Amino acid sequence: MNAASIITIILLAHEAANAVDVKDSESCESHNGTCATATLRPLHEDSPNSTAEALLQHLEPFLTLESISGDIRKHLKCPLVTRDAAASMDSSIAPKPDAITKYCQLMRPPGPDCDFDAPAPAPSADATEQEKEASVVQYYEWRSACLHRCFFSTPGLNIVGLDSNGAALVSPMLQTGYKSTPFLDGRSLEYGIGACRYLVQVKQLQHLASWGIDRNVSIARSAAGRRLHFVFHIGHTGATMLTRALDKLEDVFVLREPLLLSWLAKELVNATVKQISTVWQSPVLPWLTRRYRPEQTVVVKAKSSALRFMRPALKSTSATAVFMYSGLRTYLAMCLEHDDENFPFDLDVKGAPFKEFARGSAAYSSLNRVRRLVLAWFKRLCYAKRFPDSQVLHVRMDQYLKDPASHLQKITNLLGLPSSEDIIAAVANSSIYATDAISSADPYTAATHADAMKRSKKLHRETIDEGLEFAKAMLKRHSNLQNFSSLIDK
């Protein structure tokens, strides 16, 4: 699915909200020789909003993964597979995914509510056309309310895969899994219940999210966007380590690079600011707002390629963000050790240097890799600089590693997280700052980071020097880059 298709789907969401997803009556299960129909709550008024309120007021909460006693895999009737297969994204060995309604059916509350296997109740033979239409609307509202609660009442479902057609592969994840996994993509399967997998279309998630927004339905007993903060970065700056530290604080729920956000950043690289804002409102914001308890604060660490979402994320004055970066010399040394850097064409940054090296221009095509990295570094820093200091705390990687305690205090103050000198000291002196943030078995400290940078800078010395000279030449030509002159040789 290309960007235009995704945008079209999302912008037609409200039109789609008038459609009815009616289950095929032949798929119901038989109970005592008869086929049970969906149990619907009575309409109080003709308004869909009042229908939703009535439904959700009486609807029992869905089960949570944490509340299931015994083997969760058995409860969800997932196949027994090897550990390697449960953690694999290889379709040749991984378990086949089920329809998402199977998960919702097995997690629904006890009693008749939200029986997804039941067909829509048939109107009486003498029902008028208006009564038949009202019955269809009521069934649609009932089904939407149940699915909304299944998807958005807890973070129990995690998106682990997304294809170009917008088909999302989701898998159950406990809160302990969220704390353990370094990233919320296919690599998180080994920390979740990888034997259980389900398919859902992104457009279906967006449709349900919009349904809830239109009816002011809460997300995990909280308003969409409430107590939601962010960590943005330029890549390889210690952001994962920071979120590991924040994970140690009470009532903090951390999402490390949720795949929905990363995937949309890639697919919507040509989208307008307005279109990005639309996508953010639904489905992104409701999906990120999910939490286990209403008192929790959610902190989302975005992928470096998702920096563009900083604008809609901070549109709410209650939202704040940490922006992690490094000096240019360090940035080049880190990036030259990896092969995962993409140029941020999607960032809306004005100025002569970025106009000169616009996408498709001969000037940009003539740049080698290190010069493109320099331009990307300038562009990301310029983009983050546009936001007010009251909402964004800029944290430089080397300074953070040298003195994590003082930086953690500033960060927790900005994000409104519970902290004290004793708590901060305990976190700063924990194993988080002695081991690698991705592979905890590997040692990693400020000293080992400095040694790694020293080796990389020596190995790539000529390439880095070329990049620094190009940066200094840009500084001479463009006055709007002068604010970053002190960071060139850091």
Q: Give 450's contacts (C-beta < 8 A, 6+ positions apart).
A: none
φ, ψ for residue 34 (rounded to 5)?
-125, 160
DSSP state string for 429-481: TSGGGTB-SS-TTSB--HHHHHHHHHHHHHHTHHHHHHHHHHHHHHHHH-GGG
Per-residue pLDDT reduced to its tens digit, 364-407: 999 999 999 999 999 999 999 999 999 999 999 999 999 999 99
Task: Kindly tell me the burial class for residue 274, based on how many C-beta atoms sit within 10 Å of its own C-beta (0-12, 13-18, 19 or more).
Answer: exposed
Q: What pLDDT score does 42 carry? A: 41
Residue 14 pLDDT exceeds 60: no
DSSP state string for 391-404: TEEEEEHHHHHH-H
Model confidence band, residue 345 (pLDDT cutoffs 50, 70, 90): confident
The average pLDDT across 436-442 equals 73
Model confidence band, residue 484 (pLDDT cutoffs 50, 70, 90): very high
The average pLDDT across 20-26 equals 34
Neighbouring-strand partners of residue 98: 198
Q: What pLDDT score does 438 carry? A: 78
The average pLDDT across 334-356 equals 82
Q: What pLDDT score does 213 carry? A: 92
Average model confidence (pLDDT) for the chain? 86
How many whole angstroms separate alpha carbon 189 and alpha carbon 240? 18
In this structure, of 34-48, 73-87, 94-108, 139-153, the range with the lowest mean pLDDT score is: 34-48
The average pLDDT across 178-193 equals 95
Q: Which domains does the chain have, with CATH numbers?
A: 13-214 (no CATH), 228-487 (3.40.50)
User: How open is the CA angle 155-111-199, to the nearest 5 degrees?
Assistant: 40
- The conformation of residue 59, written as its DSSP 8-state character, comes to P
User: Are 384 and 392 a contacting pair, CB within 8 Å?
Assistant: yes
What CA dihedral angle connects 376, 380, 383 and 384, to 10 degrees?
Answer: -170
Per-residue pLDDT reduced to its tens digit, 205-256: 999 999 999 988 888 777 888 999 999 999 999 999 999 999 999 999 999 9
